[in-house]
Amino acid sequence: MTLVILAAGMGSRFGGLKQIEPVGAEGEFIIDYSVYDAKRAGFDKVVFIIKREFFESFKNTIGARISGIEVDYVFQDMDNLPTKAGKDVVREKPWGTAHALYCCKDAVKENFAVINADDFYGRRSYELMANYLKNIKSGDKKDHYSMVGYMLRNTLTENGHVARGLCVVENSYLKAIDERTKIQRNNGVIQYFEDETGWTNVAEDTVASMNFWGFTPSIFEHIAKGWDSFIKESSANPTKAEYYIPVLVKNLLASDKCDVKVIETPDKWQGVTYASDKHGVVEYIKTLTVNGEYPVGLWS
C-alpha cells in the first residue's frame, strides 16, 4: 500500500514552509510521525507531492532519514494537466489538491491513502485506513473509496479559523460533504461563517473530513474526466480557482460513481495551521512519547 502526502502547499498562514517545522524531541517533523505511523500500519511506500523548488529541502531532511519504507517524489507541475484546458492560465499557486493527486498517477499503481503534510492524524487512524484498503472489493459498477472521519470538536485550533469538510453520514457512508473555509469556536460554540448568512452553529460531533482519503487508482481517471468541467466552471476566476479532492468526491457521489466508507476514528487531530499552534503540537507529541506511543528518535 502507498501513502500519498500532499506537501506542495505554500504555508501562507503559518509564515513559511511549515511541512519541515520541527515538533519532535530530536527535530522530527509532523511528516515523520505520519510516515512512521503509516509504516507500522502496513504501508510500504510513501509518495511526497511537492513543489519542484522544495525538492532539495525534502530530500536532505525527511528523505535522508526515513528508513524501512520506499520513498518517491512527485512535483505538482502546473503544466501537467489532464487536457489542454487551463494551459494558458497564468497562476501563482498550483491548481489544488485534486490536481496534485493527478500528478502522481504514474507513481501510484495500487490502493493508496492521501493525507496533508501538516496534519497529525494519530496512529489508530492509519491502522483503520490500512485495514480498509487491504479489503476493498472490486468488480462492482461503482468505485469504493473511504475517508477517515473526525469529530469536529477534535479538529479545531484555539488560534484562528480553519477549513474543514463537514460531512453528512448515513449508515457509515458519506452522503454529502460541504467545504467550509472559516470554522472556529465563538463563545464556546462551534460556528462557520459565510458572507450570505453570517455565522451558523455546528454540532460538536459533526463528522469532519481532514483530507485523509482512501482511493484505488481509478480516482485518476475520475480526476481527468472532471477537469474540463472544473475549468469551465472556474472561468470567472481562473487564477484563483482550485480543484479540491472533497469537491471531486462530492461530484462523484452525486453521479453515483462511487461510495465512500466513513471510518470514524477516536484520534484527535493536531496541526500547525498558525505559528502559534506549534507549541500545542510539540506538547501533545511529547506526552505521547512519554506514554510510550512513540520512541525518542523515530528513525534512530
Q: What is the mean pLDDT of the chain?
A: 90
Dihedral of the CA atoms 276, 279, 285, 289 (nearest 10)? Answer: 170
Query: How does DSSP assign 238-296, residue by residue?
Result: TTT----HHHHHHHHHHTTSEEEEEEE-----EE-SSGGGHHHHHHHHHHHHHTTSS-S
Question: Which cell numbers hold the place of 156?
Answer: 479545531
- Is the model's pTM score more than 0.75? yes
Residues 6+ away with beta carbon under 8 Å from 206 = 151, 152, 166, 167, 190
Q: Are 154 and 268 in contact (CB under 8 A)?
A: yes
State pLDDT tens for residues 95-121.
999 999 999 999 999 999 999 988 999
State pLDDT tens for residues 218-227.
999 999 999 9
**Confidence check: pLDDT of 21 > 80:** no
Which of 71, 112, 114 has the alpha carbon at shortest distance from 299? Answer: 71
State pLDDT tens for residues 48-63.
998 888 888 888 888 8
Q: Please report, rounded to a whole number, the percentage of residues in the chain having pLDDT higher than 70.
A: 95
Domain ranges of the chain: 2-143+209-242+268-290
| Cβ neighbours of 194 (radius 10 Å) | 11
pLDDT at residue 14, as a whole number: 47
Which fold does the domain 2-143+209-242+268-290 belong to in CATH? Spore Coat Polysaccharide Biosynthesis Protein SpsA; Chain A (3.90.550)
State pLDDT tens for residues 133-149.
998 876 678 899 999 99
Residues 6+ away with beta carbon under 8 Å from 204 = 151, 152, 153, 190
**Confidence check: pLDDT of 87 > 70:** yes
| Banded pLDDT at 13 (limits 50, 70, 90) | very low
